[in-house]
Amino acid sequence: MSVTLSQSSRWFARPLALVIAVLLTVVAGSGFLGLRYWQERQAANLAHERSRQVLETLDRLKTIIADVEAQRRGYLLTLDPSYLKAYGVSDESVRRDAQALQALVAGDPLQNHRAGHLALTVAAKLREIDDIVKTAQTSSGPAALAMIRSLDEIRSQIDQMVDHERFLLVDQERGAEALEHRKAWLIATAVIIVAVLAVVAFALARLEAIRRRKAIAENVALHSDLLTRDKKIRRLVDANIVGIIIWEVEGRILEANDEFLRMVGYDREDLIAGRLHRTTLTPPEWRDRDEHTVAELKRIGTAQPFEKEYLRKDGSRVPVLIGGTMFGESTSQGVGFVLDLTERKRAVEALRQSEERFRTLVQFSFDVYWETDAQHRFTHQEFAASLVDAPALGSEIGKRRWEVPYLEPDEEAWRKHRETLDAKLPFRDFELARPAPDGSKRYVSVSGLPVFDETGRFTGYRGVGRHITERRQAEEALRAMQAELAHVNRVTTMGEMSASIAHEVNQPIAATVTNAQAALRWLRAQPPDLDEVRASLNRIVEDGKRAGNVISGIRTLVNKLPPRKDRFDLNEAVLEMVALTRSEVLNHGILLQTELAPGLPGVDGDRTQLQQVILNLILNAVEAMGSIAEGTRELWINTEREAAGGVLVTVRDSGPGLDAADTESVFTAFYTTKPEGMGMGLAICRSMVEAHGGRMWASANEPRGAVFQFTLPLERDASIPARHVRPNPAA
């Protein structure tokens, strides 16, 4: 910085000297011009004064000459001596003035010559006139005239001189005028010069002030810079973040901060006593490396940082990073920094272990570990070794998640997933189907967490994937099994029913046959026993009636097992049946919608029986819609409160529907339109509903399909809501 300072002052000195030189020249020049002006002015004044005096003298001379002439002429004309009274005086003053004149014009050769000539002429003429006066005894006109003529000559000489002097005066005035002009110019020039100088001086003063201010600021900055640098170094040393040592290149450690002493386990006393030496601090296997460093220091003055170990006072070792530099070429001392690497080594080891743990975790918990960047492109993928059909390593790096081929893409699910990604939110169990090498489907469940760097900037996602193919398959199987179970359940119920019916019907029929055979036997007897025949026929009629009762009175059959009375949540019971039939419904491409009245009171009855009713209605609707080729397949199930105070369950479909004539016959036992049908389902359903005190009926749906409805009464105290109402998942 001092270099810049002297440079700037040198830059400044040159124009300053120049300005001073110009200033001096201008002052000297204007002084000289002023002096010249003053001298000229003085000379002009003198000349003017002299000319004025000359003219005055000449004027006086002329007057005196006129007096002399008047006296002489008076005397000559009158010879009166009183005229000559002042004679001597006038003559004398003429002479004196002539002499004075000569002295006055001494500087002007022409006038001087003229003055000389005038003086001579005056003397000569005065003498001549004296002579004339002396010789004039009588008044003499001619003499006077002659005298006057001679005085005329003097006068003409005086006039010549006056003219000359007047010319001179005019000249002098012109000169004075020119001088005045010059003076004005001189003053104007001086004013301009002064103004310019003032401006220059002001500018220079400002420049100087700025320079000074800058210099001061620079000095202050320099000073504080030095101070802060000094402080920084001191803080670095005192902060004990790194070990700092001052050493002799040969190995003795002269100075060390606390951190270094802590590192090597020595104390300040050891340091002062000179017990700290490179060779004692360095384990034998590091000595060669140290030799190399010493050579490096001697050669280039610095040692590149390198890792080594120090021996502590207690003999243990400490890993360090060390670097250093010599103070200068002329000294054998230098400064070194020493960084304790124990923590770092431990951290590296911890990191390695954590990595290993993580790897183990991934290996056993997940099938895939992945990372994406802020643009959701895969940057890293790791597949569990157990994953037999993992994609080729690196084949998906750089691709965005949605650019990787997936099977059965669910647009809606993807849209939601993209929204989550855009919002940088964590996600869990996002399920995907991927093609396996053999062409089969592999289901993967992906979870991820957004990653932000220390500044809070989003850098991508990190997450895991789990293959859930088996789980999915198991779920599918379970669902299929449940559907199967539903079927079996129904078939079993039907089977049981038909077995009972067969039993009930068979018995009266068998009795009828027996009685008929008995009647025939009584008729064949000789003589025929008509009373017995009548009795047998009566029994046949009874048996016939009994069979009729069995067939028409299914209700009696069902009533054999009185329904259990439990209070249950009807909506929940409906939803269970919906869940049970879900795969059946989906497989038939049916859209199922439920609308279940919230807060329905609990229903008292046999939950299983009523679920059988609902299941039967659902399966009937599914079977009915399975046969239609056109139109959407829709199934609505709703529950509501009935006007009469009970609850109403409605199962409505968009299948082929029922003829108006059939709405009642479908409930008749053995009425079926299906090749494998039993025609018992609806009959039993109605019996069950009626056993609960409800009603069941069918009607046509608009624009197509069938509606099956049933009511269940509520007990007087059934206004208490059921245990809980689950939210409606299918809605």
Find the shortest distance in angstroms from Cβ 679 to ligand ADP: 5
x/- letters, 691..710, toward ligand ADP (CB under 6 A): ---------------x----
Q: Tell me, what DSSP letter sits at residue 98?
A: H
Number of H helices, E strands in the chain: 18, 17
The sign one gets for the Cα dihedral 623, 624, 628, 634 is negative
Q: How far is CA 673 from CA 254, 424, 540, 678, 686, in A?
A: 111, 58, 33, 9, 18
- Reading the block at residue 223, the tokens are 């000073």
- Residue 592 contacts residue 622 (beta carbons within 8 Å): no
Number of residues that bind ligand ADP (CB under 6 A): 21
Phi-psi region of 414 (alpha: psi -120 to 50; beta: other; left: phi over 0): alpha
Place of tokens 């259990």: 564
- Binding segment (CB under 6 A) for ligand ADP, from list 522-530, 558-566, 631-639, 654-662: 654-662
Q: For residues 157 and 161, give the distance between their C-alpha atoms in angstroms, rounded to a whole number.
A: 6
DSSP codes of every residue in 19-70? HHHHHHHHHHHHHHHHHHHHHHHHHHHHHHHHHHHHHHHHHHHHHHHHHHHH
- Binding segment (CB under 6 A) for ligand ADP, from list 106-114, 431-439, 515-523, 680-688: 680-688
Find the shortest distance in angstroms from Cβ 503 to ligand ADP: 20
Residue whose CB is nearest to ligand ADP in the complex, by number: 681
Candidate list 115, 341, 666, 696; residue touching ligand ADP; CB under 6 A: 666
Candidate list 450, 465, 646, 681; residue touching ligand ADP; CB under 6 A: 681
Question: Is residue 687 involved in binding ligand ADP (CB under 6 A)?
Answer: no
Question: Is residue 679 involved in binding ligand ADP (CB under 6 A)?
Answer: yes
Find the shortest distance in angstroms from Cβ 501 to ligand ADP: 13
Question: Is residue 674 involved in binding ligand ADP (CB under 6 A)?
Answer: yes
Question: Which residue's CB is nearer to ligand ADP, number 473 or number 627?
Answer: 627
Question: Which residue's CB is nearer to ligand ADP, number 596 or number 682?
Answer: 682
Find the shortest distance in angstroms from Cβ 633 to ligand ADP: 12
x/- letters, 607..646, toward ligand ADP (CB under 6 A): -------------xx--x----------------------
Find the shortest distance in angstroms from Cβ 650 to ligand ADP: 12
Q: For residues 240 and 371, give the distance between their C-alpha atoms in angstroms, rounded to a whole number.
A: 39
The sign one gets for the Cα dihedral 351, 354, 358, 364 is positive
- Reading the block at residue 270, the tokens are 């050891």
Question: Is residue 578 involved in binding ligand ADP (CB under 6 A)?
Answer: no
Question: Which residue's CB is nearer to ligand ADP, number 257 or number 611?
Answer: 611
Sheet holding 317-326, edge to edge: 253-256, 243-248, 333-340, 317-326, 302-311
Find the shortest distance in angstroms from Cβ 607 to ligand ADP: 21
Question: Which residue's CB is nearer to ligand ADP, number 601 or number 655?
Answer: 655
Candidate list 446, 615, 678, 718; residue touching ligand ADP; CB under 6 A: 678
Candidate list 450, 605, 655, 694; residue touching ligand ADP; CB under 6 A: 655
Question: Is residue 42 involved in binding ligand ADP (CB under 6 A)?
Answer: no
Residue (of 693, 699, 685) closest to 715 by Cα position: 693
Question: Is residue 677 involved in binding ligand ADP (CB under 6 A)?
Answer: yes
Cβ neighbors of 640 (< 8 A, separation 6 or more) are 597, 647, 648, 650
CA angle, 63 then 65 then 66, to 5°: 60
- Residue 86 contacts residue 79 (beta carbons within 8 Å): no
Find the shortest distance in angstroms from Cβ 568 to ligand ADP: 24
Question: Is residue 689 involved in binding ligand ADP (CB under 6 A)?
Answer: no
Find the shortest distance in angstroms from Cβ 597 to ligand ADP: 22
Q: Is residue 630 helix, strand or coil?
A: coil
- Cβ-in-10-Å burial (0-12, 13-18, 19+) of 143 comes to buried
Q: For residues 466 and 428, give the distance between their C-alpha atoms in angstroms, rounded to a whole number.
A: 11
Residue (of 221, 212, 194, 220) closest to 12 by Cα position: 212
Find the shortest distance in angstroms from Cβ 618 to ligand ADP: 9
Cβ neighbors of 674 (< 8 A, separation 6 or more) are 623
Q: How far is CA 121 from CA 56, 106, 126, 157, 159, in A?
A: 19, 18, 8, 9, 14
- Residue 605 contacts residue 692 (beta carbons within 8 Å): yes
Can you list the alpha helix ranges (DSSP code H) found in 301-341? none
Question: Is residue 486 involved in binding ligand ADP (CB under 6 A)?
Answer: no
Find the shortest distance in angstroms from Cβ 372 to ligand ADP: 51
Question: Which residue's CB is nearer to ligand ADP, number 105 or number 698?
Answer: 698
- Reading the block at residue 380, the tokens are 């890293």
Question: Which residue's CB is nearer to ligand ADP, number 74 or number 677?
Answer: 677
Question: Is residue 671 involved in binding ligand ADP (CB under 6 A)?
Answer: yes
Question: Which residue's CB is nearer to ligand ADP, number 118 or number 683?
Answer: 683
Find the shortest distance in angstroms from Cβ 652 to ligand ADP: 9
- Residue 568 contacts residue 722 (beta carbons within 8 Å): yes
Question: Is residue 682 involved in binding ligand ADP (CB under 6 A)?
Answer: yes
Find the shortest distance in angstroms from Cβ 476 to ligand ADP: 27
- Binding segment (CB under 6 A) for ligand ADP, from list 231-239, 291-299, 419-427, 669-677: 669-677
Question: Is residue 653 involved in binding ligand ADP (CB under 6 A)?
Answer: yes
Can you list the alpha helix ranges (DSSP code H) found in 240-341? 258-264, 268-272, 278-281, 287-300
Question: Is residue 468 involved in binding ligand ADP (CB under 6 A)?
Answer: no
Question: Which residue's CB is nearer to ligand ADP, number 261 or number 613?
Answer: 613
- Binding segment (CB under 6 A) for ligand ADP, from list 107-115, 267-275, 354-362, 650-658: 650-658
- Residue 335 contacts residue 325 (beta carbons within 8 Å): yes
Find the shortest distance in angstroms from Cβ 672 to ligand ADP: 3
Find the shortest distance in angstroms from Cβ 591 to ligand ADP: 16
Phi-psi region of 657 (alpha: psi -120 to 50; beta: other; left: phi over 0): left
- Binding segment (CB under 6 A) for ligand ADP, from list 2-10, 331-339, 345-353, 664-672: 664-672
- Residue 673 contacts residue 631 (beta carbons within 8 Å): no
- Binding segment (CB under 6 A) for ligand ADP, from list 107-115, 162-170, 459-467, 673-681: 673-681
Task: Kindly state the helix (H) or strand (E) to which residue 499 belongs, with its residue range.
Answer: helix 469-524
Question: Is residue 658 involved in binding ligand ADP (CB under 6 A)?
Answer: yes
- Binding segment (CB under 6 A) for ligand ADP, from list 153-161, 397-405, 477-485, 681-689: 681-689
- Residue 686 contacts residue 620 (beta carbons within 8 Å): no
Question: Which residue's CB is nearer to ligand ADP, number 422 or number 676?
Answer: 676
- Residue 190 contacts residue 30 (beta carbons within 8 Å): yes
Question: Is residue 545 involved in binding ligand ADP (CB under 6 A)?
Answer: no
Question: Which residue's CB is nearer to ligand ADP, number 587 or number 665?
Answer: 665
- Binding segment (CB under 6 A) for ligand ADP, from list 139-147, 183-191, 275-283, 668-676: 668-676
Question: Is residue 584 involved in binding ligand ADP (CB under 6 A)?
Answer: no
Question: Is residue 157 involved in binding ligand ADP (CB under 6 A)?
Answer: no
Which stretches of the chain bind ligand ADP, using CB under 6 A? 620-621, 624, 653, 655-658, 666, 671-674, 677-683, 706
